[in-house]
Amino acid sequence: MGVTLVGLSFTKILFYAVNQHAFPEVGFLDLVAALWFDVITISLVFYPFILLWLIPVRFRGNKYYQYVFRFLFFITNGLAIGINLMDVIYFQYTSKRSTFDLFSMVGYEQDMNRLWETFIIDFWWVILIYIVLLFLSDKAFRIIFRIFGNFSDKRFRPQIISLIILIPVFIVTGRGGFGLKPVSVINAAQYTRPENTAFVINTAFTMIKSFNENGLEPVRFFKQERAEQLFSPIRKTGDQTEIQLPDSTNVMIIILESFGNEWVGKDENNKSFTPFFDSLCSQGLFFRNSFANGKKSIEAVPAILASVPGFLDNPYISSRYSSNKLTGIGNLFKKQGYSTSFFHGATNGSMNFAGFSALVGYDSYFGRTEYNNEADNDGTWGIYDHKFLPWTARQLSKEKQPFLSTLFTLSSHHPYKVPDEFKSQLRKGPHPICRSINYTDLSLRLFFEEAKKQDWYENTVFVFVADHTPASWSDYYGQRIGMYRIPILFYSPSGKIPAKEQNEIFQQIDIYPSLADLLGFKETIYTYGQSFLSREYPPYAITYLEGTYQLFMDNYLFTYTNEKTKQLFNFQLDLSLEKDLLKETPYKKYENFLKAIIQHFNNDLRLNKTHISE
């Protein structure tokens, strides 16, 4: 167990070295807490080994029985260290430790063999470190076993005493103490700042705690009547008159893979990786101060299409609540006579987007199978954007109008592959993603060149939104303000949506109610967002990561974890989140508002009430 503890400690040092921009302040107490969670993890994963070692049987000295010990150690140690090493790299893309849903997402991918090949080529050094650690661990195990693995003493009394004393010790340690409930991921924030949670815990711990998890706990911060007063997910739409689009206007939602604010717009050299998208931003309603509600593509789709924030450790699509009834955007538009379609150039079944889009009312799904030309496959994720996007524009002309369609781009994703024919004209930047974002922007221009030839184009409103931010290059975008900052744009070629840059807070879950308002649908919908045309509350954004809820409102970032208020920062002035204003600024308004949202979310998901009853 000591050998594995050393291995976990080494992987944590490596994890910090690669991702230190996400942890600006790590102190001695953080190191102690990290060691404690490693000890808890080792106690949990070594339970089978401990029992076999301590159980008083006469054949413990048998060489075959001792081979079992070596095999158990090799598997236990190898898995614990291996999945910890995995997050050295994967954390850059998710900003959280991996949970058991990772394996369910892998199950959705049909081309994992090619993805593994890419990861092995790009991150060979992690695999090399893993092999070296396995070799050193096995060598250390055999040396220790020769010293302590002598079972020649056949007396039962000391064996039974050891069993009686040590089993409770390891049970208590594995639970994390004498608390009523075992320590979980959410408890980590009690030992450190919320932004350091991922450093303190380890991936083996989050995998164990998210396996076959019990689901959401019922919440009762307030009586139901009071909770409804503070926040209600029930919205009436269509009564505003500020901007009213004509009846039967087509709607095209374009989800841009990894288009975080860090790489959108002009840089310090007055150059841009997204010149075409920037030109559209100057012609539409551009929300500069907007936020993603999660850190993964699989969290973005429910947020955008059903206004469900990513308040679960396992994303909604792969959670136990994925079969709940949702009143999604497709359901609403179909009710108004729209045809609905979802386009994504990946292998059909990827991320289970096909299944989820059908759940929220999309009739048709177009992926790599429907595109049906493997010559345009990028060899990793699916069809190249510069091919799939113009094809989508042509395909939409076959859809019955008015239509609601969603297009999810593909190529601005690791391994950031771009076609050879464009390499010379694409702009490189400090991070490999820069060139692939520039390529996706070029593909977007090709989509619009094709779309302008179609008869549906002028009668369409386009909504552009990033799914999440990518791996960050700067300290600001590695912290919990910047890691959610994305662009959101409403654009109408006919000019019916005025060109304006909006600085108020906006978020992915606001898109659904905003579109319902823009099109004048007089309906009642279930949403955790609000329309920018008819706000009931001050502009806000909500996020969740590793047990910590965040609320952005009134220039403040309010954090709440483990049923306790944690921090309050002025995120507009204090970009590094250095000055906690909790003791000098009234915060009850934010606490009560966020608690009411959490109460609705947990209880409604548990009771399958995340929809409007017919």
Say if residue 112's pLDDT is above 60. no
**How many Cα atoms within 13 Å fall on the side-chain side of residue 367?**
17
In terms of average pLDDT, the best of 87-96, 182-191, 493-502 is 493-502
In three-state secondary structure terms, 221 is: coil
Instruction: List C-alpha distances in Å: 145 to 53, 78, 157.
Output: 11, 17, 22
Q: 81-85, 104-108, 329-333, 452-456: which has the minimum mean pLDDT?
A: 104-108
- CATH 3.40.720.10 in the chain is located at 226-606
Q: What percent of the chain has pLDDT over 90?
A: 59
The residues with which 195 forms a beta bridge, in sequence order, are: none
Strands (E), 165-320: 234-236, 250-256, 285-291
CB-CB contact of 341 with 405 (8 Å) = yes
Higher pLDDT, 368 or 110: 368
| Tokens 């007396």 belong to residue | 155
Say if residue 412's pLDDT is above 50. yes
How many other C-beta atoms can be found within 10 angstroms of the C-beta atom of residue 81? 25
Say if residue 166's pLDDT is above 70. yes
Mean of the per-residue pLDDT values of the chain: 89
Mean pLDDT computed over 440-456: 97
| Tokens 């979310």 belong to residue | 601
Give the separation between CA 535 and CA 529, rounded to whole angstroms: 9
Give the separation between CA 486 and CA 508, rounded to whole angstroms: 9
Mean pLDDT computed over 285-305: 95
Give the separation between CA 496 and CA 243, rounded to whole angstroms: 8
At 110 the pLDDT is: 55
**Which tokens hold the place of 136?**
């050193």
Give the separation between CA 568 and CA 545, rounded to whole angstroms: 16
Mean pLDDT computed over 366-380: 92
Instruction: List C-alpha distances in Å: 287 to 58, 398, 466, 503, 506.
Output: 72, 32, 12, 6, 7
Say if residue 276's pLDDT is above 50. yes
- The 8-class DSSP code of residue 481 comes to T
Q: 225-229, 230-234, 440-444, 610-614: which has the minimum mean pLDDT?
A: 610-614
226-606 to CATH, choices 3.40.720.10, 3.40.50.10890, 3.30.70.270, 3.40.50.970? 3.40.720.10
Band (359; pLDDT cuts 50, 70, 90): confident
Band (107; pLDDT cuts 50, 70, 90): very low
Higher pLDDT, 517 or 96: 517
Burial class (CB in 10 A: 0-12, 13-18, 19+), 502: middle
At 437 the pLDDT is: 95
**Which tokens hold the place of 403?**
């239509």
